[in-house]
Amino acid sequence: MPNTKAYAALTAKGPLVPYRITRQPPGPGEIEIEILYCGICHSDLHSIQDDWESTLFPCVPGHEIIGRIGRLGAGVDRFREGEIVGVGCIIGSCGVCTSCEESLEQYCDQGFLGTFNSPLNETAHTLGGFSERIVVPAKYALRVHHSRNQLAGAAPLLCAGITVYSPLRLWGAGPGKKVGIVGLGGLGHLAVKFASAMGAHVVLFSSSEAKLSDALDLGAHEACLSTDKKAMSRYSGALDIVLNTVSASHNLDTYLRLLKRDGTQILVGAPAEPHASPKVFNLLFRRRRIAGSLIGSIRETQDMLEFSAAHQITADIELISISDLNAAFERLDRNDVRYRFVIDMESLRQSDSG
């Protein structure tokens, strides 16, 4: 018998509806988590709309999870019942490929097991955090050091946070570096906070003039309207790193031109349509690079959570009830959120539906 309330998309582009799913008790090495908060990620929107033509229905999204451990499976000794933990995008990997052996599970040769929408066998797939509880291997759970009143804002760190933290660390954002952040959405606003806390000089680029003052309030040292050609020209050849968070197709040359010699533009947004191809001369003549980065490993995510707690970094959120879920997705689709929706999952437990 299904024993857990959830919300699921039953068809592509259909609404999320109350749905009952079955969660098995935690087995050896597993923990059961009572979900307190779950962030809404742009990839959740892509999934329920089947934009990438890979969604498995019914789809229960959600991989920005903060919760309380309810039960421990046999052999789990690194956590205790009642402890607050996080679960991000990854709940399994092969464990034996080169990437897994190097603690880079997100690049597992076999493909990591996602918190939702990953096949388990021919008839079942993973179901995510838009639910009362979840059971995961303890090795993929993360310790959360934020205070109780910060937990809702910490939920988006499990995907949005690590997505920007990992490349900023890898490409050396820090003192003496000028870092451009493109886009001030769910990813971009956290990138500004992290890059600033790492000690870099941060320049935010946005097509929305209304967001420029927000960027300065969030910690950016400068903010530039990306549609203003004269303003953009002031940054030509000035930046070491450009972290491009935009998830809509656009011309990458706009930001390649802002890089110094040997600078890197890192793509972390995932548009449904491809970007315009860059002009090769913008790469050749300054030995510039375009790179991509996918979330982060479990080890990196734990480092990110500890860094964010130490620097008091959380997402700027709008906390919603489960009854507001479909309206939130409609607003997300038109970028009407500053800067992340988070679901109070207690509202699901108290609801009569599902």
| Nearest alpha-carbon partner for 166 in 258, 63, 88 | 88
Edge-first strand order for the sheet with 201-206 is 222-225, 201-206, 178-182, 239-244, 259-267, 289-292
pLDDT confidence of residue 211: 95
Which residue has tokens 């923990």? 31
pLDDT confidence of residue 234: 96
Determine the 3-state secondary structure of 330 from DSSP.
helix
Find out whether 33 and 68 touch, Cβ atoms under 8 Å. Answer: yes
Kindly report the pTM of this predicted structure.
0.95
How many CA atoms within 13 Å lie on the side-chain side of 54? 10
Spatial distance between the Cα atoms of 90 and 60, rounded to a whole number of angstroms: 15
Spatial distance between the Cα atoms of 289 and 160, rounded to a whole number of angstroms: 23
Walk me through the domains of the chain, giving residue ranges and CATH numbers. Answer: 4-159+296-349 (3.90.180.10), 160-292 (3.40.50.720)
Spatial distance between the Cα atoms of 149 and 307, rounded to a whole number of angstroms: 18
Longest dimension (CA), the chain: 63
Spatial distance between the Cα atoms of 140 and 63, rounded to a whole number of angstroms: 12
How would you write the pLDDT of the chain (354 residues) with one tens digit per residue?
689 999 999 999 999 999 999 999 999 999 999 999 999 999 999 999 998 889 999 999 999 999 999 999 999 999 999 999 999 999 999 999 999 999 999 999 999 999 999 999 988 999 999 999 999 999 999 999 999 999 999 999 999 999 999 999 999 999 999 999 999 999 999 999 999 999 999 999 999 999 999 999 999 999 999 999 999 999 999 999 999 999 888 899 999 999 999 999 999 988 778 888 789 999 999 999 999 999 999 999 999 999 999 999 999 999 999 999 999 999 999 989 999 999 999 999 998 765
Q: How far from chain centre, in Å, is Cα 335?
A: 16
| Nearest alpha-carbon partner for 116 in 49, 47, 66 | 47
| Nearest alpha-carbon partner for 295 in 116, 173, 54, 114 | 114
